[in-house]
């Protein structure tokens, strides 16, 4: 039985949570039931401490007793956690595939975004193979008032929530085309709500345009957005409009994966 992954000094001096995780990791790594004495020896913890940890993990379902009740094995709660983690990874892969297919159709970089407080959060992104492109990493945030996704989220939220959020936003001018007045942004939101999609007309970055459509869950609630952006040297607004059906079809596929 290898103990290289679980240094005795680290576990012995760790918190209660770290010790519990070390026990679970040891049992998962071993692939077979282990006796209390095995765990004590491998992790360098006092027998009384190990007994207390195992009792707590048994009670919560993360450990289970083997046929030999002095041996412990992975419990149903840990197995469910592992399955949920794998499913999460599978779903992420399926969502990424939707973006990949969309990029092949529209020929430009596409993003999967959501509302995070008073900003837009990039959940996923697939880059087009062009030398000139805007690079934003997954996990990055961008403003609401000057991006296609951001204005879409504002436009499709309940009126009182939108008014409350607008009252806290700083409408910073990013380009000559940025909407910087609450009245102008409210008018823009009304138009977006009516047509069901949003555009960024060089409002965030000069020379860059974008379009965004909502991703709705099974109850019809807006949970995210799919957006495409491109430099004006490669795509006109008419070209962007022509790509809306592809975005909407991708958003429908993505909604089924929420």
- Tell me the pairing of strands 110-116 and 119-126: antiparallel
Report whether pLDDT(1) > 80. no
Predicted structure pTM score: 0.71
| pLDDT of res. 76 | 87
Is-contact 254 224, C-beta < 8 A? yes
Lowest pLDDT segment from 31-35, 65-69, 110-114, 149-153: 65-69
Dmax (CA) of the chain: 74
| Model confidence band, residue 11 (pLDDT cutoffs 50, 70, 90) | low
Strand partners, 200: 210
Nearest to 251 by CA among 86, 88, 89, 106: 106
pLDDT one-digit tens code per residue, 51-102: 999 999 999 999 998 877 789 998 888 888 887 776 678 888 999 999 999 9
């Amino acid at each position: 039985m290898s103990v290289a992954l679980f240094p005795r000094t680290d576990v012995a001096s760790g918190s209660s949570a770290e010790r519990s995780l070390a026990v679970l990791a040891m049992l998962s790594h071993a692939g077979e039931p282990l006796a209390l004495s095995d765990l004590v020896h491998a992790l360098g913890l006092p027998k009384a401490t190990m007994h207390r940890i195992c009792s707590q993990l048994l009670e919560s379902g993360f450990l289970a007793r083997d046929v030999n009740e002095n041996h412990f094995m992975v419990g149903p709660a840990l197995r469910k956690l592992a399955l949920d983690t794998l499913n999460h990874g599978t779903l992420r892969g399926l969502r990424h595939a939707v973006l990949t297919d969309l990029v092949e159709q529209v020929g430009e970089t596409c993003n999967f975004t959501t509302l995070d407080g008073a900003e837009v959060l990039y959940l996923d992104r697939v880059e087009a193979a062009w030398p000139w492109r805007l690079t934003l990493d997954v996990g990055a945030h961008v403003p609401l008032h000057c991006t296609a996704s951001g204005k879409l989220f504002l436009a499709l939220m309940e009126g009182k929530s939108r008014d409350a959020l607008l009252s806290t936003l700083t409408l910073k001018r990013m380009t000559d085309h940025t909407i910087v007045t609450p009245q102008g942004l409210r008018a823009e939101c009304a138009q977006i709500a009516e047509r069901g999609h949003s555009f960024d007309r060089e409002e965030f970055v000069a020379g860059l345009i974008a379009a965004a459509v909502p991703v709705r869950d099974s109850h019809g609630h807006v949970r995210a957005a799919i957006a495409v952006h491109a430099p004006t040297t490669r795509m006109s607004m008419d070209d962007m409009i022509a790509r809306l059906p592809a975005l909407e079809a991708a958003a429908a596929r993505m909604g089924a994966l929420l």
